Amino acid sequence: MSPHHRHPHSAGPQPAVSASRGALLSTVIHLWPYIWPADRRDLKGRVIAAMVMLVAAKLATIAVPFTFKWATDALAGQGSAPVAASAWLVWAVAAPIAMTIAYGGMRILMALLQQMRDGLFAKVAMHAVRRLAYRTFVHMHELSLRFHLERKTGGLTRVLERGRNAIETIVRMVILQLSPTIIEVVLVAGVLLWQFDWRYVAVILVTVTAYMLFTYRATEWRIGIRRKMNDSDTDANVKAIDSLLNYETVKYFGAEEREAARYDRSMARYEDASVQAYTSLAVLNAGQAVIFTIGLAVSMVMCAFEIKAGTKTVGDFVLINAMMIQLYQPLNFMGMVYREIKQAVTDIEIMFSILSRAPEIMDAPGARPLAVGNGTIKFENVSFSYELERRILKGISFEVPAGKTVAVVGPSGAGKSTISRLLFRFYDLKGGRILIDGQDIAHVTQKSLRQAIGMVPQDTVLFNDTIRYNIRYGRWEASDAEVEEAARLAQIDNFIRLAPLGYETEVGERGLKLSGGEKQRVAIARTILKAPPILVLDEATSALDSHTEKEIQDALDRVSTGRTTLVIAHRLSTIVGADEIIVLDQGEIAERGTHHALLVKGGLYASMWNRQREAEEAREKLARADEPTAAPNRNPPAIEDEAAMPAAPTVVPAAAAE
C-alpha cells in the first residue's frame, strides 16, 4: 500500500453493538474511544480545553444578567454591585456606564468562549467521523461476497453516509448543545437558590420539566408526520426519475398525462404531509412559548411582590428576567436536538451492526503467504452450495497443470462461475479442497492468494477515473512506461493515443464511455501489468460481437502463454485449443477431454457445439440474404450475437459413435 493510501490510525477498538441497543448513553459509550483516542494526546488536550471553555462560557452566560442587574440598580440609584463602601461615592457616578460596559464585555466574552470551544472541538469531532467511517469502509471490504450480494450497494453507501453524519450530529448535539443546556439549568437553579430562595428554584424546575415533557411528546408526534412527508417526497422523486429515464417509452405510448397524474398524486400526498408538518411545528413552538412564559411570569410576579416589600431591587427583577430569557434560547432547540439525536442514534446503530458482523471468510490462524512455483491448480472432491437446499458443485475433481489451459463449459446453472469464485476464496468449501502447488488455499493468506491470480471477467467494470488509473490498478507501484507497455501488449495503446487526452482520458461511470471491446482490453492490460502466474478468464468474450471477440481472443491467447490458465467459457469456439475441456452438468463433471475427442464422443459437448454452429449458420444465411448484391468484394458484416462463432473445423451429429 502506498503511503498516501495508508491510514495513520487503522488500529483501535472495534465496537460491537446490536441495533436494539439504541440508547443515547450506549451510543456515546461506544463512540467515546473515537472522541478520546488513546493514541492522540493532542486530541485529548482539545477535549479538556473544550470542556474548560464550555464551563467558562456558561459562567460568563450567568454573569451577563448580573451585570444587567447592577447597571439597572445603578441607574435607579441603588448600589447592588460588589464594590467597597469607601469607593461608593466615586462608584455612584461611574457605575451605570461601567456596568453597561461590563454587560457588553460579558456578552462578547460569552460569544468568544463559545466559538473557541466549537473551534477546538471541531478537530476532535471530525477525527471521530473520519476514523469510524474509515473502519466501516475497511470492514465492508472484509465482509464476504455473500454479504454484498444480499445488500444493495446504494444501501451500503447510504449506511456509510448516514453513519458518518450521525457521528457528527451526536458529537455536536450532545457536546455542544445538550451538555451546555444541562449545565446552564444547574447554574441557573444554583444562582436562584443563592440570590433568591427555593421557591424560585421550584418554579424553574417545574417549568423546565413541563417544557421538556411537552417537547418530547410533540416531537414524537412530529416525527411520524415528518416521516410521512419524507416518504411522500421520496415517492414523488422516484416516480419523476423513473418517468424521465423512460422518456421514450412514455412517448411511444402517449402516456404523458398519465405520468403527470401519477407524479401529481405523490406531490398531493407530500403537500398534505408538509402542511401537517408546518402546523405541528407551529403547535410545538406555541406550546413551548406558553409553558416557558408562564414560568417566567410566575417568577417575575414573585419578584415584584418582594420589590414591593422592599426585600429586592429593580435589578433583581431584571436579573431573573434576563436569566430566564437566556435559558429559553437553548431550551427552544431541545425539540430539534431530541429529533436529530434520535435519528442519529438509529443511523449509527446500523453502522455499528455492520461493524459487529464478523467476516465470513477469514485467514486461518497461522496462515502463511502462498508460495507459487509452477502454478498447478488442483480441485479435489470439491463440494459447494450457496444454500443448504441446493448443491451447486457435487464432488468435482480436476487439475490444471502448470502452464496449461483448462476450460470449463456447461449449460447455464451448471456451476461454471462458482469455480472461479471458489478459486479466489470468495466462499469457503462445503467439502474437499483446492490446492495451488500443493498448498490448500484455505490455509494461506487471502491477500497472497489473490495476488497470484489474474482475472479477466465477462463484465469488466472500470473505476470512474482515467485509463491510466484503471490499467495501473493491476499493480499500483508500476511506472508510466510499464502501464503503457501493458496497454501495447493488450492492443489498446493506439486507441488511447488517438484520444485527445491520451492515457488521462476519463472512462466514465463503470467505464461506460468505452465500448465493450475497449473495456475488455483495459481489463487485459491491467492483468498483464499484474503479471500473475495464474490466469482466470471468466467468459471474457461472451458479451462481444464476433469480430471484436476474435481480436480480444488473440490478445487473451498471448496473455495466457506460459501461464496456468483456467477458462470459464460460454462460446465453445474460444476454447477449441484448450489442453483439456471439463464439461459440467448439474454440478458434476459429465465429460472431459480435448475439443476433438469430445466431438467424436458425441455427448453433451458435441450437442452444445452443434446448437451453437446451427445458430451461427442461420444468422450468416440471414445476413447474406440482407446484403446488397452490388458489392461482391465486400466482407460480410460481423455477426453480433451471443451464440455467434467463427467457422469450426468439424460439425458432428449429437449421436455420433466414438
- Percent of the chain clearing pLDDT 90 (strictly above): 1
Max mean pLDDT range (338-347, 509-518, 551-560): 338-347
Q: What is the rounded average pLDDT for all residues in the chain?
A: 76
| pLDDT of residue 494 exceeding 60 | yes
Strand order in the sheet with 377-384: 393-400, 377-384, 431-436, 439-440
| pLDDT of residue 658 exceeding 60 | no
pLDDT tier for residue 146 given thresholds of 50, 70 and 90: low
d(CA 144, CA 425): 10
561 vs 93, which has greater pLDDT?
561
Q: Residue 339 contacts by C-beta under 8 Å, 6 or more apart in sequence?
A: 219, 222, 223, 226
Given a contact cutoff of 8 angstroms between Cβ atoms, the answer to whether 624 and 636 are in contact is yes
Region 33-42: what's the mean pLDDT? Answer: 81
d(CA 30, CA 36): 11
In DSSP notation, 108-124 reads HHHHHHHHHHHHHHHHH
Give the pLDDT of residue 280: 86
What is the number of H-type helices and E-type strands within the chain?
A: 20, 10
pLDDT in tens, 309-343: 888 888 888 888 888 887 887 787 777 777 777 77
Given a contact cutoff of 8 angstroms between Cβ atoms, the answer to whether 579 and 594 are in contact is yes
| pLDDT of residue 163 exceeding 60 | yes
Paired strand residues for 453: 534
638 vs 323, which has greater pLDDT?
323
Count Cβ atoms below 10 Å from residue 114 Cβ, excluding itself: 19
Give the pLDDT of residue 239: 82
390 vs 296, which has greater pLDDT?
296
pLDDT in tens, 572-627: 877 888 888 988 888 888 888 888 988 888 888 888 888 878 877 776 677 666 65
What is the phi/psi pair of residue 17, to 5°?
A: -130, 135
Give the pLDDT of residue 14: 41
pLDDT tier for residue 24 given thresholds of 50, 70 and 90: low
Give the pLDDT of residue 167: 79
All cell numbers assigned to 248: 421514450
Region 128-156: what's the mean pLDDT? Answer: 70
Which run of H or E residues covers position 212?
helix 198-245
| pLDDT of residue 445 exceeding 50 | yes
pLDDT tier for residue 549 given thresholds of 50, 70 and 90: low
Identity at 439, one-letter amino acid code: Q
| pLDDT of residue 284 exceeding 80 | yes
Q: Supply the Cα-derived Rg of the chain in whole angstroms.
A: 37
- Percent of the chain clearing pLDDT 70 (strictly above): 82
CA distances from 637 to 514, 543, 616, 631 (A): 22, 17, 13, 12
Q: Coil, strand or helix: which one is 332?
A: coil
The model carries a pTM of 0.58
